[in-house]
Amino acid sequence: MPRRHHLRHDKTCLNCGATVEERFCTRCGQENIEPTETVGHLVGHFFADITHFDSKLFITVKDLILRPGFLTREYVAGRRASYLNPIRMYIFISAMFFLAVFAGREGTDKPHDDPPQKVKPGEETLNITMRSFGMVIFDLEEYKYRNIHEYDSIQQNLPDTAKAKDKGIERWMMRHNLGVKEAHNGNGKIHLEIDIHHDIPKLMFILLPLFALYVGWFYSRKKYYYVNHAIFSVHYHSFVFLMLLVFLLLGRLIPGEWSGLLLGVISMLGAFGYLVASLRGMYGQSFWVSLGKGLAIGFIYWVTLIIAMSVLMVLTYVSL
């Protein structure tokens, strides 16, 4: 039988050195027991921590879904021991979502090139689009020049007043496109699928505080601190990732273009509806006031998302 741990007779905390009047240190919270541990005690601690985490996670997720804004209100009021830490919950849920999104996905930067073709003067197009979540599609058709050297030679011989002479950003883009063309054996038609899922979590960590800032614009600075809005942002994005995870799994169970479109529309409506409900639950204003503020915050945030994803796509293009 494993030996039970007894309280130390010495009232000095082994962790911080403070005086321990009872079983736990009032300064750091460490239990004042003999430091020698048995294997049985370690196993007991392991299962206690697991079940404690599971119970907290269940309670927290249940209230996150069924009581929008409640967790943020409880956190701000200081009632935190019964719930999972907001940051820990966000990391756990978002990690599960990204694992589900990219499980089984093949490698990145996958080219699909046509065989080299004869030059067709005057033809050059570039399209950059986003497909699915975190996949940038890069399509280039370039038949005007064979390589950068040919382009530079022709451009140098053109008079400065010629319309065909590229300058500034046009010149940079043309040389960049030709560099990509050369890297793919001079092929005139190139299709690249570039997986940027590693950049999406980093982008979300930038958008989280921005969302909190937008929320703060619509509520009294005297009554609420920025950190209150930041916790609200973490809880809101945790719900959004959880909802998207469920819809992602449903989309795989019910394949089809129409089912994917329907789930996408429902997810957008669900995210907005939850935002309005959370604003009302956290800040205590009427439904119509919360709806108006939700519309404004949602619009600003969608514009930010579009800009952020566009910048990410441009940076992806630059890094080719």
CA distance 104 to 106: 6
Are 101 and 202 in the same domain?
A: yes
Cα angle: 157, vertex 182, 125; to 5 degrees: 75
**Boundary residue ending a domain (169, 195, 221):** 195
Per-residue pLDDT at 46: 54
For 72, residues 6+ apart whose C-beta sits below 8 A from its C-beta are 228, 231, 232, 235, 278, 281, 282
Strand partners, 110: 193
Last residue of a domain, one of 146, 174, 195: 195
Domain holding 186, by residue range, is: 125-195
- Residue 278: the pLDDT is 96
Report residues of the chain scoring pLDDT below 70: 1-6, 35-54, 104-123, 131-134, 197
Q: Each residue of 156-201: pLDDT tens digit? A: 888 877 777 788 888 888 888 888 888 888 777 888 877 776 777 7
Q: Same structural domain for residues 211 and 191?
A: no
Same domain (yes/no): 265, 227: yes
Closest CA to 65 of 102, 93, 88: 93
pLDDT in tens, 134-145: 678 888 887 888
Specify if 212 maps to a domain. Answer: yes
Q: Assess whether 221 and 101 both reside in one domain.
A: yes
pLDDT of residue 212: 95
Is 179 a domain residue? yes
Are 163 and 263 in the same domain? Answer: no
Mean pLDDT across the chain: 81
* Tens-digit pLDDT profile for residues 232-246: 999 999 999 999 889
3-state helix vs strand vs coil in the chain, percent to 5: 55, 10, 35
Do residue 257 and residue 156 come from a single domain?
no
Asked if residue 202 and residue 309 are part of one domain, the reply reads yes
Same domain, 290 and 277: yes
- What's the pLDDT at 294? 96
Q: Is residue 2 part of a domain?
A: no
137 beta partners = 129, 193
Instruction: Say if residue 266 is in the same domain as residue 169.
Output: no
Q: How many domains does the chain have?
A: 2
Q: Tell whether 216 and 282 lie within a shared domain.
A: yes
- Decide which of 195, 224, 246 is a domain's last residue: 195
- What pLDDT does 134 receive? 65
97 and 149 within one domain: no
